[in-house]
């Protein structure tokens, strides 16, 4: 069940990274770096809580 939840998280990460790529191409470097860091951090934290916690779904 936990692995099924990771799929939408990965899709959201892919969307944010494509938005970062768009910003980078349009010379908006600060927004690109910020959205990439935010997306990677959110994905990592969600996976960390999901797989290391004692939560049952």
What are the pLDDT digits (tens) for 5-27?
Answer: 889 999 999 999 999 999 999 99
Per mean pLDDT, which range of 24-28, 35-39, 49-53 is the poorest? 49-53
Give me the residue spans of the domains in the chain: 2-52
Q: What is the 3 state secondary structure string of 1-57?
A: CHHHHHHHHHHHHHHHHHHHHHHHHCCCHHHHHHHHHHHHHHHHHHHHHHHHCCCCC
């Amino acid at each position: 069940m936990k692995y099924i939840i990771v799929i939408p998280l990965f899709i959201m990460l892919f969307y944010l990274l494509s938005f970062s790529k768009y910003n980078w191409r349009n010379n908006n470097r600060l927004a690109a770096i910020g959205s990439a860091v935010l997306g990677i951090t959110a994905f990592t934290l969600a996976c960390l809580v999901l797989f290391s916690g004692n939560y049952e779904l």
